[in-house]
Amino acid sequence: DALTALDRRVVECRACPRLVSWREQVAREKRAAFAHETYWGRPVPGFGDPEPTVLVVGLAPAAHGANRTGRMFTGDPSGDWLFAALHAVGVARLPTATSADDGQELTGFRLCAPVRCAPPANKPTPQERATCAPWLDEELALVGARVRAVVALGAIGWGAALRALGRAGVVVPRPRPRFGHGAQARLDASSSALGGAGPEGDAVTLVGSYHPSRHNTATGRLTAPMLEEVLGRARDLGAT
Ligand code: DU
Ligand code: SF4
């Protein structure tokens, strides 16, 4: 199908020289704990429901997480938190995500990233973000028809999600809605292929969460109940 065809093209992408060389270097050198594993070392496609009502937008694959396992948020501490919370709110089949063939499945939810290759220091350049944006646009065009909520993980995910929604024809107000944990912005989607008409009209609601990176979870800035509250809210928005 069209989504499979898109994934097949995404994983062949070599448009960003710095990221191609980094993702492949990490895959060669590995981390001691994964010394005997074959790293994916390529772009990571979206994962989850092919007809989602909720999209979760992160930042980029982790060098030893998705860049190792080949599946979004799979095999790193951020993903451990995210999948546990997705399971807690009833949309993930399993509470863990360890490898691309672990049997994990999402219902109603889909995970995607505005940058699809692992960047050095988790920091893509503005040019790399611009180069990768069309992949997210294509994915949104294919899977967006039922999307009622978008969860942005972190301020960068929030900005990337707003820009992608804007490109898809969703109305992004000025000044732009501000990121915060639990922040919520209802955006008019009547001029876009996203959203579909809910009881209160054609809209997509953007919801912010602190990113479940170790920096946030280890310091207690983000707790499991905080993440579950946001994901549960998005699940309920998706059901309207
Ligand atoms: O081939 P497929 O059944 O469409 O699944 C591809 C891939 O996506 C598989 O790893 C499960 C996942 N997935 C999911 O998480 N949620 C769905 O509703 C459908 C598929
Ligand atoms: Fe291609 Fe995106 Fe990877 Fe750049 S980051 S090489 S555009 S998949």
Residue 199: pLDDT over 80 = no
Residue 201 binned pLDDT confidence (cut-offs 50, 70, 90): confident
- CA-CA distance, 51 to 72, in Å (whole number)? 17
* Domain carrying residue 199: 2-238
70 CB within 6 A, ligand 1: no
19 CB within 6 A, ligand 2: yes
Of 150, 237, 141, residue with least CA distance to 198: 237
**Residue of the CA atom closest to atom 2 of ligand 2:** 132
Q: What is the ipTM of this complex?
A: 0.88
**Residue of the CA atom closest to atom 17 of ligand 1:** 49
Task: Find the ligand nearest to 71 CA.
Answer: 1
pLDDT tens column, 97-128: 999 999 999 999 999 999 999 999 999 999 99
6 CB within 6 A, ligand 1: no
Bond before 124 cis per omega within 30 degrees = no
Residue 195: pLDDT over 90 = no
Task: Find the ligand nearest to 116 CA.
Answer: 2
Model-level pTM? 0.92
88 DSSP assignment: H
CB atoms within 10 A of CB 114: 22
Instruction: Tell me the two tokens of residue 107.
Output: 């219902």
Q: How far apart are the first and last CA of the chain?
A: 27
Residue 82: pLDDT over 80 = yes
Q: What pLDDT sits at residue 45?
A: 98
Helix (H) or strand (E) holding 90: none
Residue appearing with tokens 């967006």 = 144
What Cα–Cα distance (Å) separates residue 45 from each residue in 147, 194, 227? 18, 20, 23
Instruction: Tell me the two tokens of residue 226.
Output: 């905080």
- CA 194, 199, 201: angle at the middle one, nearest 5? 45
CA–centroid distance, residue 130 to ligand 2 (Å): 10
48 CB within 6 A, ligand 1: yes
CA–centroid distance, residue 43 to ligand 2 (Å): 6
CATH number of the domain that residue 177 is part of: 3.40.470.10
Domain count, the chain: 1
In the three-class reduction of DSSP (H, G, I as helix; E, B as strand; rest coil), residue 111 is classed as strand
CB atoms within 10 A of CB 134: 12
pLDDT tens column, 44-66: 999 999 999 999 999 999 999 99
DSSP of 17-78 = HHHHHHHHHHHHH--GGGTTS----S----EE-SS-SEEEE-S---TTTHHHHSSTT-SSHH
Residue 18 binned pLDDT confidence (cut-offs 50, 70, 90): very high
Q: What pLDDT sits at residue 143?
A: 97
Hey, which bits of the chain come out as E strands?
47-48, 54-57, 109-112, 149-153, 184-188, 197-198, 201-209
pLDDT averaged over every residue in the chain: 96
Q: What pLDDT sits at residue 200?
A: 72
132 CB within 6 A, ligand 2: yes
Instruction: Tell me the two tokens of residue 126.
Output: 């503005």
What Cα–Cα distance (Å) separates residue 224 from each residue in 52, 117, 173, 221? 23, 27, 31, 10
